[in-house]
A and B are shown apart, each in its own frame.
Chain A
Amino acid sequence: MNAFMESTSSIVQIKGIRDGLLATFADADWSDQRDALMLQITERSTFFQGARLAMDVGSQVLKVNDLVDLRDWLSERNITLWAVVSESPTTETTAQLLGLATRISKPRPEEARHVLESIPEDSALFVAKTVRSGTRIEYPGHVVVYGDVNPGAEIIAEGNVIVWGRVRGVIHAGAKGNREAFICALDLSANQLRIADEVSAMLKPQKDPRPEVASINHEGKLQAELWSPGETTTRK
């Protein structure tokens, strides 16, 4: 048993970071990595009570199944899995599908405002498929979707959201309070739109949808207007 414990602690390393705990793994099969993590947690269950856990899984390729099982197991033990960092694009996509963060260096609250004013123009997440019910995408920059956003799906971006498709789910742009953020889509019949802390009423589906841009107007209300050529030059 002791030898086993030693071998598991060499597979998984757990240390404290600013946002909770970070588990990093040595190269091994996912089942071994997972078992090692589970064993560590079971051995020191009081220490892990209520913890926020992030994982750095290296190049491990993880499917939705793998992460869902682990997340459920963790949540039964009152541990929140909030981030999965990986070099594998498949794993990153999986983590995004489950609404997990894929980076762990979040700005501190006092830094947040400063960062907001300077979201790098090129920091955007590109999603080249329809975002379906039950999927939540959170991103600290802009989000671009090439596809639809279906009812029951959520996109939460600190920057702008651009959808080349239909929006029928929930979109929140400027999620950290940026009132300059905007949302545009080819068809904006969303369940609900939010920019910063403004919320729109439900938008009626249109018969002949046309591209629209939603932003906060001079009166401080969230409003959607039809896109017209040349308008984008005036928008930052």
Chain B
Amino acid sequence: MTAQVFTITSGKGGVGKTTAVANLATALAMDGKRVVCIDGDIGLRNLDVVMGLENRIVYDIVDVIEGRCKLKQAMIRDKHYPEMYLLPAAQTRDKNAVSPSDMVRICKDLRADADFVIIDSPAGIERGFRNAIAAADSVIVVTNPEVSAVRDADRVVGILEAEEKGNPSLIINRLNPTLVKNNDMLSAEDVLDLLGIRLIGIVPEDETVIIGSNRGAPVVTDGKSRAGTAFRNIAKRLQGEDVPFLDLAPQSGLWNAIQRLAGRK
């Protein structure tokens, strides 16, 4: 078995990369897949908190790289899904402790035993970002429907193109259909128009996401949450299934617009 390695990145901070990683990994694990998440944000780790695994960390990725422990020793098994693991970042080091070739080597070791490896990239376009994308088979760019976030996403897409990392996919996070309808927020169509990359999901603004993150229980486990449903659908799409996009605003023409956009290359 060979795992697919996805890196989730954004350029701008605070758009929901870590939330997306935790939710997609959990959704894949719920589908019975073997998943390893890697926190690529050395020095500012927080994927462990969002996944509720904070107090189980003994070793971290820098310990693995510097030979203080074996890879398997640093991987933390999830509380609910025994086939899901987290490789945490170091909190007391900085990103120079990891090099792109270290990431490639770790992912190579993980490929044999997992279905999916999901790497959480730090914000920015510096060393930490370069580390995070080094091992990726495909890259997922997360953005919010805000001008500043979209511009940074555009920059990241440009770098990925220059690095020949293949075409990235796009998740639009925290879309508020009411604001879009009143022309107070960029629509999914506006964002796609500018970035021109493949859309794999739109996650609506939903306060249950924040509650889930604070509790260390990703929102995908909540069957009633709209955002949870959106993340579960993205996880299905990562597995190659063709899932229709959520109808976020039944009365408006957005649904048709999204369907039209989803069909385009």
Which A positions have Cβ atoms within 8 angstroms of B? Answer: 63-65, 93-94, 97, 129-135, 148, 150-152, 168
Contacts and interface: CB of A to CB of B under 8 A. Distances in A.
B159 A152 contact: no
B261 to A, nearest CB: 16
Nearest to B158: A132
A30 B121 CA distance: 27
Contact of B155 (A130, A132, A148): A132
B115 interface: no
B159 A133 contact: no
Interface residues of B, number: 16
Contacts of B161: 129, 132
B135 to A, nearest CB: 14
B98 to A, nearest CB: 15
Closest 6 A-B residue pairs measured CB to CB?
Answer: A132-B158, A133-B154, A134-B155, A133-B155, A64-B162, A132-B154
B196 A63 contact: no
B45 interface: no
Contacts of A151: 147, 151, 154, 194
A151 B155 CA distance: 10
B158 A97 contact: yes
Contacts of A63: 162-164
26 contacts: A64-B162, A65-B100, A65-B163, A94-B162, A130-B196, A132-B155, A132-B158, A133-B151, A133-B152, A133-B154, A133-B155, A133-B158, A134-B154, A134-B155, A134-B158, A134-B159, A135-B158, A148-B194, A148-B196, A150-B154, A151-B147, A151-B154, A152-B151, A152-B154, A152-B155, A168-B194
B157 interface: yes
Nearest to A98: B162
Contacts of B147: 151
B154 A97 contact: no
Secondary structure of the B side of the interface? helix
Contacts of B130: 65
A64 B194 contact: no
Q: Which of A93, A148, A150 has the most CB of B within 10 A?
A: A150
A132 B163 CA distance: 14
Nearest to A132: B158
B103 to A, nearest CB: 13
B194 A150 contact: yes
Contacts of A152: 151, 154-155
Q: Which of the listed residues A63, A64, A132, A168 has the most CB atoms from chain B within 10 Å of its own CB?
A: A132
Interface centre among B152, B159, B162, B196 (most CB of A within 10 A): B162
B88 to A, nearest CB: 26
B157 A64 contact: no
Given A97-B158, A134-B158, A135-B158, A64 B163 contact: yes
Interface in B125-175: 130, 147, 151-152, 154-155, 157-159, 161-164
B20 to A, nearest CB: 21
Among B157, B161, B163, the one with the most A-chain Cβ atoms within 10 Å of its Cβ is B161
Nearest to B154: A133
A220 to B, nearest CB: 33
A236 to B, nearest CB: 33
Contacts of B163: 63-65
A84 to B, nearest CB: 14
A148 to B, nearest CB: 7
A133 B156 CA distance: 8
Contacts of A134: 154-155, 158-159
Contacts of A93: 162
B151 A97 contact: no
A94 B151 CA distance: 20
A30 B159 CA distance: 20
B31 to A, nearest CB: 34
Nearest to B127: A69
Contacts of B100: 65
Given A63-B163, A129-B161, A134-B159, 12 more contacts: A63-B164, A64-B159, A65-B100, A65-B163, A94-B162, A132-B161, A133-B152, A134-B154, A134-B155, A150-B151, A152-B151, A152-B155
B159 to A, nearest CB: 6
Nearest to A151: B151
From B152, B164, B194, residue with most partner A Cβ within 10 Å? B194
B80 to A, nearest CB: 39
A82 B147 CA distance: 31
Contacts of A150: 151, 154, 194
B163 to A, nearest CB: 6
